[in-house]
Amino acid sequence: MSFPDYLTRIPNVVDLSQPNTLQIVPKVQVNDQGVHVTIPRSTKQPAVFLWNQKISQLTLHVSEGVAAEVILLRVLSGNAKQSFQIQLDSDASLSLHEAEWNLRASKTSIQRRLTLQKSARLEHQLLSSLEGTSESDFFLDLQGARAEYAGETFLVASGESKAFAHQRLEHHAKSSVSNIQNILVASEASDLDYSVNGFIEKGMAGSICRQQNRGVILSPKGSVRVDPKLYIDEYDVEAGHGAAIGQIDEEQLFYLLSRGLTEDEAKRLILSGYTEQFLAPYEALEIRSRLEQRIANRLKGA
């Protein structure tokens, strides 16, 4: 499978399945298991990677003290079973914007393993619009003191798509922080099932573990289930979780309708408010409008 032209035209884009483009990456290892990318020094420009099902394993390693930004476009054309490891050394920081979609409905699964060492910081946004059945197994391991993870997911599904996700966030160090926010939108007969689990083990004082989940159901046949849990074995922590599932906020809808917007237009606009922050990083790559259109189609059930 080759990527669509509008993706391969992105300046300095790295197609992980193409050895010639991999040369752009300063430190990379390729073997039968997959691709291991190390970011050895700080960069001002984001690195952009294209990832398809030809590569089953991807490791992204940010070296000690390095600050980097990565845009990862996971574009699939068929069934896929993949794993993605993110390793941040001490004092490393990574801003990671992931977008994933498939060109036709398929069965996909991904394991994400994230390891953060002392004072590492990861800001992670995931924009997901996979069709078919998708499974996601997410494991965050906060190994170093003061490691911080901020994760936001916007997932939209349509048709009869099903998405299952299991998120597990483990605090194995003092003063470690995890903030996770999931926005899950089900249109048509799609079915979204999320379990979100935060663990703070004994002795990890000063840690913060927060989860926020928002499920929006756009049609009577759609469903969203979220099961947020916290397992706390330490007194000196901050922790909170919640899940709100329902239709679009009635007062917001009334406000927009009262200005003459049709119900469809009003809903589209309200939901575009959720996606705005997720789409912003793709503006410079000139693929924002494509992603926006894709999301809009999913919301309409196209």
Residue whose structure tokens are 């999320």: 194
Query: 83, 1, 77: which is closest to 34 by C-alpha?
Result: 83
Is the CB of 133 or the CB of 272 nearer to other proteins?
A: 272
Is the CB of 5 or the CB of 251 nearer to other proteins?
A: 251
Torsional sign, CA 146, 232, 198, 59: positive
User: How far is 38 from 58, CA to CA, in rounded Å?
Assistant: 11
Least distance in angstroms from the C-beta of 265 to other proteins = 6
Least distance in angstroms from the C-beta of 287 to other proteins = 19
Is the CB of 139 or the CB of 274 nearer to other proteins?
A: 274
Is the CB of 249 or the CB of 286 nearer to other proteins?
A: 249
Is the CB of 231 or the CB of 254 nearer to other proteins?
A: 254
Is the CB of 173 or the CB of 183 nearer to other proteins?
A: 183
Contact residues for other proteins, defined by CB under 8 A: 249-252, 254-263, 265-266, 269-270, 272-277
| Distances, alpha carbon 117 to alpha carbons 60, 160, 176, in Å | 14, 40, 10
Least distance in angstroms from the C-beta of 119 to other proteins = 31
Least distance in angstroms from the C-beta of 292 to other proteins = 12
Is the CB of 164 or the CB of 274 nearer to other proteins?
A: 274
Query: 40, 36, 66: which is closest to 49 by C-alpha?
Result: 36
Side-chain half-sphere exposure of 10, counting CA atoms within 13 A: 25
Do 282 and 288 form a contact (C-beta atoms < 8 A)? yes
Least distance in angstroms from the C-beta of 280 to other proteins = 10
Least distance in angstroms from the C-beta of 281 to other proteins = 15
Do 28 and 61 form a contact (C-beta atoms < 8 A)? no
Query: 154, 15, 36, 150: which is closest to 84 by C-alpha?
Result: 36
DSSP-assigned letter for residue 46: P
Which residue type sits at 177? V
Least distance in angstroms from the C-beta of 253 to other proteins = 9
